[in-house]
Amino acid sequence: MRWTLKAQPEQENVDYLANTLKVRPLIARILLQRDISSFEEAKTFFRPRLSDLHDPFLMNGMSEAVERIFKAIEEKENILVYGDYDVDGTTAVSLLSSYLLEKYPNVATYIPDRYEEGYGISFQGIDFAKDNDISLIIALDCGIKAIEQVAYAKEKEIDFVICDHHLPGPELPDAVAILDPKIEGDLYPFKELCGCGIGFKLIQALGTNLGERTEDLLPYLDLVAVAIGADIVPITGENRVLAFFGLQVINTEPRPGIQAIIQATDRKELSITDVVFIIAPRINAAGRMKHGLHAVELLTEPDFHKAKEYASAIEEFNTERKGLDQQITEEALNQIVENQEENRHTSVVYQENWHKGVIGIVASRLIETYYRPTLVFTKNGDKLTASARSVKGFDVYTALENCADNLVQFGGHKYAAGLTMLEAQYEQFKQKFEEVVQKTIKPEALTPEIEVDSKINLSEISPKLIRILKQFAPFGPGNRAPVFMASRLFDTGFARRVGADGKHLKLQITQDGRKAFGAIGFNLGEKLEKVVGKKSFEALFTIEENHWNGNTSIQMKIKDLR
């Protein structure tokens, strides 16, 4: 691990903010690192309000979208709500379809089949709409590049409203309205909404015209919070407000489908991290293993007993997904060793029978062992298809552009992409990709980095500090849980390896002979020798509350030590 101390703000600014907010300099420093430098900004950060959400009509195309939807309702047209098969797409379809169905019955949903149709708007989906006399399709989390598909729909007298958050290409589809803050010239103040977030802005606009308040739409925010966590968008600005209130809904009155997933766990209160690791994988498993419509059924089911049945089926998909993911990861790691490729700058692996639904997860798993740009290929029809994942600071999309001669098609962004090629191109591509990465990647990018917010003495850790740090949540991209660094640390003699195969490290840490704190280091069991025998060490950690057997204590969660 590379330890990188974040740029520390000027002391004069720290003192000013600390005095203004009546907080310790440590808290002021962490706030300034998050670009919070005044009382008003701190108030907005610590006390999110629904009134902080922007007017949805600031988004280009919103008035046209609302007008077209109301026209469809007035003229009793059939409406199709269409979305991608991942968490963001299925939550967005669930949100908009359930909102519209409360007001109007002629609404159907459509999720493309991951394997037969692939990502985004399909010609097959448009044919389905035509066969069912549907004249308006509202696309969520996809569509910004569907030039040909929207033109095809227009020939069949089907209109499109597109709600997307991906970067547009040089040409936009000929839709009635396109909602995407990333379109150049769009004046909407917040650019980082996920697809479900754009869907929420649409129902907010529809609701405004119906005399509804934003507070009336609170029950939909559990879906938005799940999508924000799963889609790894920055939890800043408007996303922070949506995630904050969405988590409140999840923890108090979630919809039956989400409640059915939570009930199978022992969690009392879920954080965004729990959403990412508990709720999102199960919703995703439907599209990976079977069909994304199973997720929409679960998330829109009003009856809790039926929702439990749907959740049980999805749990089976998730169990199957975990087994495949583990098996394929082992096979891929073995392939790297057998081919003597441990010291390359890339991991590129292929087996024709690997399940397409889990190759993206496997690519991420391989990076945990070999920290470098990674592609996992499988066979799909007469072509090879792959998921690409990258490491911090390296643009895998640009690297793929430099290998385009060997590809049939590719798409994605800086850290994740998908591609297809002919089987005959595989070896040549593999070599070219290695050469491109070797020439362009910075050596330090091949070592994982942990950014450190601040140095701290253990004497500064107190229940009051914990109370304030908890108010920094929800955590996520753009607002990670603060990471601290402390030196001159000693274990009190209780250090031991715990968990399956002794993977984890449990400690009692003290500094200068003062009060000891319990600590846990997940996947750090092998570092036991660095702390036993009264050896001095330094550590990076977050600080959290640990609840065990009815007792609450302060715990350090070790990220690395040396």
The residue to which tokens 């002629």 are assigned: 106
Task: Kindly state whether residues 92 and 238 are assigned to the same domain.
Answer: yes
Number of domains, the chain = 3
Please give the pLDDT value at position 558. 97
- Report phi then psi at 516, rounded to 5: -95, 145
Q: Residue 521 forms beta bridges with which residues?
A: 505
* Model pLDDT for residues 31-81, shown as the tens digit of each residue: 999 999 999 999 999 999 999 999 999 999 999 999 999 999 999 999 999
Per-residue three-class SS string for 24-50: CHHHHHHHHHCCCCCHHHHHHHHCCCH
Domain boundaries, position 393: 339-446
Closest alpha carbon to 200 in 213, 183, 217, 212: 217
Task: Kindly state whether residues 12 and 100 are assigned to the same domain.
Answer: no
Task: Kindly state whether residues 537 and 487 are assigned to the same domain.
Answer: yes
What is the C-alpha to C-alpha distance for residues 273 and 365, in angstroms, rounded to an integer?
18
pLDDT at 307 over 90: yes
Please give the pLDDT value at position 420. 92
Would you say residue 330 lies in a domain? no
Q: What percent of the chain has pLDDT over 90?
A: 86
What is the C-alpha to C-alpha distance for residues 283 and 91, in angstroms, rounded to an integer?
9
Higher pLDDT, 113 or 199: 199
Task: Kindly state whether residues 427 and 463 are assigned to the same domain.
Answer: no
Q: What value does the mean pLDDT of the chain take?
A: 94
Tell me the two tokens of residue 42.
């701190």
Would you say residue 264 lies in a domain? yes
Higher pLDDT, 486 or 413: 486
Q: Across residues 111-138, what is the average pLDDT?
A: 93
Would you say residue 331 lies in a domain? no
pLDDT at 286 over 80: yes
pLDDT at 266 over 80: no
CATH code of the domain in which 421 resides: 3.10.310.30
Task: Kindly state whether residues 414 and 519 are assigned to the same domain.
Answer: no
Longest dimension (CA), the chain: 79
286 Cα distance to chain centroid = 17
Residue 286 identity (one-letter amino acid): A
User: 10 Å Cβ neighbour count for 177?
Assistant: 22
What is the C-alpha to C-alpha distance for residues 429 and 349, in angstroms, rounded to an integer?
12
- In which band, very low, low, confident or very high, does the pLDDT at 116 lie, cut at 50, 70 and 90? confident
Would you say residue 334 lies in a domain? no
Cis peptide before 474 (omega within 30 of 0): yes
Task: Kindly state whether residues 72 and 110 are assigned to the same domain.
Answer: yes
CA dihedral 466, 471, 475, 478 (to 10 degrees): -110
Per the CB < 8 A criterion, the answer to whether 237 and 196 are in contact is: no
Q: Across residues 13-21, what is the average pLDDT?
A: 97
Per DSSP, 475 falls in state P
Count CA atoms within 13 Å of residue 10 on its CB side.
Answer: 4
Q: Of the ranges 15-19, 177-181, 356-360, 453-457, which one carries the lowest mean pLDDT score?
A: 356-360
- In which band, very low, low, confident or very high, does the pLDDT at 298 lie, cut at 50, 70 and 90? very high
Q: Across residues 353-359, what is the average pLDDT?
A: 92
Please give the pLDDT value at position 412. 75
CATH code of the domain in which 199 resides: 3.90.1640.30
Domain boundary among 402, 420, 446: 446
Q: What percent of the chain has pLDDT over 70?
A: 100
Per the CB < 8 A criterion, the answer to whether 446 and 372 are in contact is: yes
Please give the pLDDT value at position 500. 84
Would you say residue 202 lies in a domain? yes
Alpha helices (H) along 290-303: 293-300
- In which band, very low, low, confident or very high, does the pLDDT at 338 lie, cut at 50, 70 and 90? very high
Would you say residue 234 lies in a domain? yes
331-351: burial string, b at 16+ Cβ within 10 Å, e else = ebbeebeeeebeebbbbbbbe
Domain boundary among 446, 478, 506: 446
Please give the pLDDT value at position 289. 83
Would you say residue 134 lies in a domain? yes
What is the C-alpha to C-alpha distance for residues 338 and 354, in angstroms, rounded to an integer?
18
Task: Kindly state whether residues 261 and 138 are assigned to the same domain.
Answer: yes
All residues at 6 or more sequence positions from 477 whose CB lies less than 8 Å from its CB, including other chains: 232, 233, 234, 235
Please give the pLDDT value at position 358. 92
Please give the pLDDT value at position 409. 85
Tell me the two tokens of residue 219.
């029950």
What is the C-alpha to C-alpha distance for residues 458 and 58, in angstroms, rounded to an integer?
48
CATH code of the domain in which 526 resides: 2.40.50.460
User: 10 Å Cβ neighbour count for 493?
Assistant: 11
Would you say residue 325 lies in a domain? no
Task: Kindly state whether residues 144 and 260 are assigned to the same domain.
Answer: yes
Please give the pLDDT value at position 232. 84
Please give the pLDDT value at position 258. 96
pTM for the whole structure = 0.92
Task: Kindly state whether residues 85 and 231 are assigned to the same domain.
Answer: yes
- In which band, very low, low, confident or very high, does the pLDDT at 376 lie, cut at 50, 70 and 90? very high
* Model pLDDT for residues 129-157, shown as the tens digit of each residue: 999 999 999 999 999 989 999 999 999 99
- In which band, very low, low, confident or very high, does the pLDDT at 119 lie, cut at 50, 70 and 90? confident
Per the CB < 8 A criterion, the answer to whether 363 and 375 are in contact is: yes
Q: Residue 378 forms beta bridges with which residues?
A: 385
